[in-house]
Amino acid sequence: MELTGAEIFVRCLRDEGVEYVFGYPGGASLHIYDALYKQDAVKHILTRHEQGAAHAADGYARSSGKPGVALVTSGPGVTNTVTGIATAYMDSIPIVVFSGQVATSLIGNDAFQEVDAVGITRPCVKHNFLVKDVKDLAATIKKAFYIATTGRPGPVLVDIPKDVTACKTEYHYPKEIALRSYAPVTKGHSGQIRKAVDLIVQAKRPMVYTGGGVILGEGSKPLTELVRLLGYPCTNTLMGLGGFPATDPLFVGMLGMHGTYEANMAMHECDVLVAIGARFDDRVTGDLAKFCPHARTVHVDIDPASISKNVPVEIPIVGSVAAVLKEMIKLVKDSKTRVDKAALQAWWKQIDEWRSLGCLKYEHSDKVIKPQAVIEKLHELTAGGAFITSDVGQHQMWTAQFYKFDKPRRWINSGGLGTMGFGLPAAIGAQFAHPGETVVCVTGEASIQMCIQELSTCKQYSLPIKIVNLNNRYMGMVRQWQEFFYDRRYSHSYMDALPDFIKLAESYGHVGMQIDKPADVEGALKEALKLKDRLVFMDFITDQTENVYPMIAAGKGQHEMQLSPCHRGATSERELA
């Protein structure tokens, strides 16, 4: 029996196990939308903007481990997804974006709502396709999901002309696919792994540095087992939070520009650095010339292009994080060389001295709400078990610092691209992936307005998301940089003419609260969390002058941190001694 391209599209999604498609219809995709209407196996979620659809698919993927799917039309439909595609690309998130396209006979003729979707997205996708023949559609969709989810994950775009969705052919969805030019390595080189373990167990001042690859590669359990087996200190990147339990005493906090003093100092002073699923990005390394000057480095990553890209590596291991970690555990247990307990004890004594500084402490107030206090109370009341999405800025960093993630896939934020507007639609995706769980979007008054129309999506689908808006009436991180590096010239960072967020939330049919007294923070959060079936928008009026500390300024090394005024303005280990 022959099916139209649109019917084949829906059958492919069904056979791929796709449950939700986040999208927005238009002329070039109407055949597909008609086919969606005629079935109920694949559920379509109507967002209010195509950027929201891409972010929702992204949030679904990050929180579930399954690929997210978005469907948009041609022209402005697909161009509106580019920010969402780039966001997923920078953080290696598996999403498949399907875009309608003008008929094949019109491609290149500047037809109505025509853009070169393949050309526009090429720099920010793992791969993309233009389907020109309906006979190729099913196999192309299979390839798209395979490429998006294997190796180093990433977004894949499939551009489908309207006439392709109307033409008919026999349906066959391949069970497996093989691509001659694409064969990602999964098993690490045994000789390299053995060399790495030999170096690791001989370390005097070891450091385990892990990134988002541990979470994406389902490596959290073996990582935790390995770190506890060795007794070594472990730090996570912003994207890796939850990959190792934050409440474990071996965890020394997040590292990098706004990481803890103990994590950054331990990185700077370590003699063996074990990097797992991390890419040595600039927010972690600071000045590359000063990065880990004493360390011999082991780097485990699924992507060979990431190894030695920014930092020279002594022992590279290309392979699946989970598989490599499991082999490391076996070798450590079988190794005749034992960890130098005396050296490790001395190393921990030094780390505990750095830790005793309490680099995250801040001045509490009973007059103005401190944003850190809101996150601490949120963590307490949710017992660290919520799915937390965030936008980008100070609120993102405070959440990373003060919400202790003990499990992977609970922290959902835009790390690489730093996309304002990500938080709310990502929370939509996470809520669909986990309908019975608490999903909280931590945002700021600048970020939330970028995709605030998705409050309408939340109403349509009765999503009980809790929004924590840390409202300091500034683009907070921009203001902080202007304070530090631009002599307090706050050029266009003050958020004037803000809406009444309570009335706005209520106009969408949600619950709105404004909280401006520290004494009311706990009560508001408790009340919101009790409303299991309602979206609650909490507008916390916070201290405008609060900054994120510690901070490593551009051009500085990991050991050159600026600490809060609570530490007398000291900026280095020597000054703190």
- Residue 46 pairs in a beta bridge with 23
What is the full DSSP assignment across 546-572?
---SSB--TT--TT-PBPPGGGTT--S
Orientation of helix 476-485 relative to helix 394-402, angle to 10°: 100
Nearest CA among 359, 436, 455, 442 for reference residue 398: 442
Q: Hey, which residues are catalytic here? A: 50, 112-113, 162, 477
Residue type, position 5, single letter: G
Residue type, position 25, single letter: P
Q: Which helix (H) or strand (E) holds 138?
A: helix 137-149
- State the pairing for strand pair 439-444/511-515: unpaired
d(CA 39, CA 209): 47
Burial string for 194-225 (b: 16+ CB within 10 Å, else e) reads eebbebbbbbebbbbbbbbbbbbbebbebbbe
Q: Which residue has the tokens 């699946």?
A: 320
Structure tokens at 57: 């698919």
Nearest CA among 127, 130, 104 for reference residue 117: 130
For the chain, the straight-line distance linking the first and the last C-alpha, in angstroms and rounded, comes to 79
d(CA 244, CA 277): 13
